[in-house]
Structure 1
Amino acid sequence: MTLRPTAFAIPGDIETLTGGYIYERRLLEGLRAQRRDVDHIPLGSSFPGPTAGDMADASARLRAIDPSRALILDGLVFGSLDTAVLATLPMPVVAMLHHPLAHESGLEPALRDHLYRTERDNLRHAAHVLVPSPHTKALLVSDYGVASSRITIARPGTDKPLGKMPAADPPMILSVGIQHPRKGHDILLRALALLPPEGWQAMIVGTRYDADHAAMLDRLHADLRLGDRVRLAGRLPGEDLGRAYAQASIFALATRYEGYGIVFDEAMAHGLPIVTCATGAVPDTVAEGAGLLVPIDDPEAFAEALLRVLSDAALRGAMATSSARAGAALPGWADTARIAGAVLDSLPA
């Protein structure tokens, strides 16, 4: 069987350490590992709020793609690209949507409405849609009118841990997510400040993605007098991040919304009990018995859940067992690429 040659258009730096970029970089690598001809098309970094220059450059680059190729279009671009451009592309377009752009937190109403209308209109021109979770698929069906048959779930893959390490002493609460309002690190800091001052430590890992928000987190950390107990570690190299997962006793993310949440799979691959929020795709992603899920924006409830896991060894052990069992069953990145490749090969010539 001849594998469909493909172009994969991604804005900005593909090495950016966010779940969406990690997914797309690993998908690109996985499709190429199938010996498929995949051309990476880098686009401007300003999407989903493109400058006029980035929009014009994207239009020119996409129109220059060989029409015999299929085109996978990253969701940040797909949801904000001029519909008139998308409608004139001659090749079949596969939208790679991690979650609808209008569901991002903190948007002004006018921008939210613009993104919703643009994404809805653009979805009419997609030959197919790839999503990471049943939650995102359900949103596209219910809110955007996309037929279920045009959507395929390609769950992110997970790398298996390299090995076990002694747990940190005192027990470490690990959080992983870019420093962006949606990730809820401000709620986590407030929750940690409510815990007894002894018997735990915490590390928050993630790129200072939103400079203003990162500065606010620094101020909040100081105002709450969390000191050395809580480390705002910023971005960590892969080996150091793997070591942090291996040494942690609890994974915690006070997220306000997730279209999937690769970090939860990483936590389960390491057999960690999880404390997080019942929002977006989180209830479908965190395995039953592996996590305690609380409402968003509730530091008191989050602190209570953390304290339960810290203080109840039997509960913590049961959650760890459920987490490890689920983690062992997670797909690899080759499985993600296989699902996406089947979609590409099913598209009309």
Structure 2
Amino acid sequence: MVCAGLERLGWAVHERLVEGSARAGTGATLRDSLAGALHGIPDGELVLLDGLLTARAAPVVAAHGGRLHLVLLVHLPHGLETAAGAGADLRAAERTVLDAVTTVVTTSRWTRDWLVETYAVDPSRIQVASPGVTSAEPAVPSASGHRLLCVGAITPTKGQDVLVEALAEDADLPWSGRCVGALDVEPGFVDRVLTRGVALGLGERLTFTGSAPPEAVAAEYADVDLLVVPSRFETYGMVITEALARAVPVLAAAVGGVPEALGTAPDGRRPGLLVTPAQPAAFASALREWLTDHDLRDDLRSAAAARRSTLRDWSDTSHTISTVLSRAAA
């Protein structure tokens, strides 16, 4: 979306694909691929780097920081990772990358503030460019509000284990749930979540679909009453604005940039419910309110419809990044 938007604004965009991934164990491939990509770029050129790739290739970024105008797009700071033994090393590498680049772009104010607090980055070097959202037709709600949707890879970060426990507490109420997202990122966690769901009697009411192409995810949003986001942390939460683009209210854990993504309607109403993270009882209580209180559902649906009209589209995001790039190249 952003690259196409920059091209429409007159930028000559040349994408470079990098092999490997941000996961542990792929660092050598990633470093070699990124080094090759950057080596072929002439001195003084402007480069927008995907921050998901850089921390595991920090020496490469540092080596080119003096000759290229590097702009770092931070979706998810690597320093937030809590894997045993990985936190300190990743934070040190991320600090190296932040020191090497000209400018930083974050997807939320929360992420900007986290980088400033954690790494003492000069706030003037950071620009927020909130993700846009593609407009869509409003979903048609059901009277009971029973159709629940969770979108995201099945991982501890996304918190589907919290959702399973919460739904079990509300098993006496009418609901049906669908979890759409990759099942191969954390296979051990997936096995535990699925096994626990069956043990709690949720097997026929809660479906895990696996990964889905964008058009299939869009169809899921069109046939849902409530988006549920049980994440343990999020730097923004694009699934939230994707739901709001269809006037679908949200029940989410109040973590990171989630409140920012949820936002408010022009009259100040919140288009959803925020609860304490990693607390199944809190999630279950809020879901029970949604399922049993008709007036609450109507109010949240109204607020979501009003919030829909205030969402940024991708052209806004592209304009913001374009301005950042122009300043970095000056």
Structure 1 distance, partners of 2:244, 2:61, is 41
Residue 159 (str. 1) matches residue 134 (str. 2):
yes
Q: CA deviation at 1:194?
A: 0.9
TM-score by length of 2: 0.91
Does the aligned pair in 2 maintain the 1:131–1:152 contact within 8 Å?
yes
Instruction: Output one character per residue of 1:215-244: Cα deviation in whole Å (capped at 9) or x when no partner.
Output: 222222212210221111222233332222
Residue 132 (str. 1) matches residue 107 (str. 2):
yes
Structure 1 distance, partners of 2:145, 2:233, is 30
Distance 1:204 1:266, change over 3 A: same
Task: State the secondary structure of the residue aligned to 2:17.
Answer: strand
**Structure 2 unaligned blocks of 5 or more:** 265-269
Structure 1 distance, partners of 2:198, 2:125, is 49
In the other structure, the counterpart of 1:78 is: 54
Task: State the secondary structure of the residue aligned to 2:157.
Answer: helix
Which among 65, 69, 81 is matched to residue 41 of structure 2?
A: 65
Does the aligned pair in 1 maintain the 2:145–2:225 contact within 8 Å?
no
Distance 1:203 1:169, change over 3 A: farther
Q: CA deviation at 1:176?
A: 0.8
Instruction: Output one character per residue of 1:21-69: Cα deviation in whole Å (capped at 9) or x when no partner.
Output: xxxxx21222223242111111122325333233123212212113343
Task: State the secondary structure of the residue aligned to 1:227.
Answer: coil
TM-score by length of 1: 0.87
Distance 1:239 1:206, change over 3 A: same
In the other structure, the counterpart of 1:301 is: 282
Which among 273, 279, 291 is matched to residue 292 of structure 1?
A: 273
Which among 199, 207, 229 is matched to residue 253 of structure 1?
A: 229
Describe how 1:160-199 pairs up with structure 2 within 5 A.
160-162=135-137, 164-165=139-140, 167=142, 171-199=146-174
Residue 340 (str. 1) matches residue 316 (str. 2):
no
Does the aligned pair in 2 maintain the 1:182–1:255 contact within 8 Å?
yes
Comparing 84-93 and 69-78, the one that deviates more: 84-93
Q: CA deviation at 1:250?
A: 1.1
In the other structure, the counterpart of 1:325 is: 306
Does the aligned pair in 2 maintain the 1:79–1:122 contact within 8 Å?
yes
Q: CA RMSD in A?
A: 1.9
Task: State the secondary structure of the residue aligned to 1:323.
Answer: helix
Does the aligned pair in 1 maintain the 2:145–2:291 contact within 8 Å?
no
Structure 2 distance, partners of 1:121, 1:167, is 51
Instruction: Output one character per residue of 1:301-325: Cα deviation in whole Å (capped at 9) or x when no partner.
Output: 1101001011111111111111221
Residue 119 (str. 1) matches residue 94 (str. 2):
yes
In the other structure, the counterpart of 2:267 is: none
Structure 2 distance, partners of 1:65, 1:175, is 41
Equivalent AA in structure 2 for residue 72 of structure 1: L
Structure 2 distance, partners of 1:85, 1:195, is 49
Does the aligned pair in 1 maintain the 2:141–2:224 contact within 8 Å?
no
In the other structure, the counterpart of 1:99 is: 76
Structure 1 distance, partners of 2:121, 2:173, is 51
Comparing 315-324 and 164-173, the one that deviates more: 164-173
Instruction: Output one character per residue of 1:170-213: Cα deviation in whole Å (capped at 9) or x when no partner.
Output: 72011111111100011101111111334211111112232222
Distance 1:261 1:85, change over 3 A: closer
How many residue pairs match? The answer is 322
In the other structure, the counterpart of 2:251 is: 275
Describe how 1:232-243 pairs up with structure 2 within 5 A.
232-243=208-219
Task: State the secondary structure of the residue aligned to 2:274.
Answer: strand
In the other structure, the counterpart of 1:20 is: none
Does the aligned pair in 2 maintain the 1:170–1:201 contact within 8 Å?
no
**Structure 1 unaligned blocks of 5 or more:** 1-25
Structure 2 distance, partners of 1:211, 1:195, is 27
Equivalent AA in structure 1 for residue 159 of structure 2: G
Structure 1 distance, partners of 2:116, 2:301, is 35
Comparing 334-343 and 211-220, the one that deviates more: 211-220
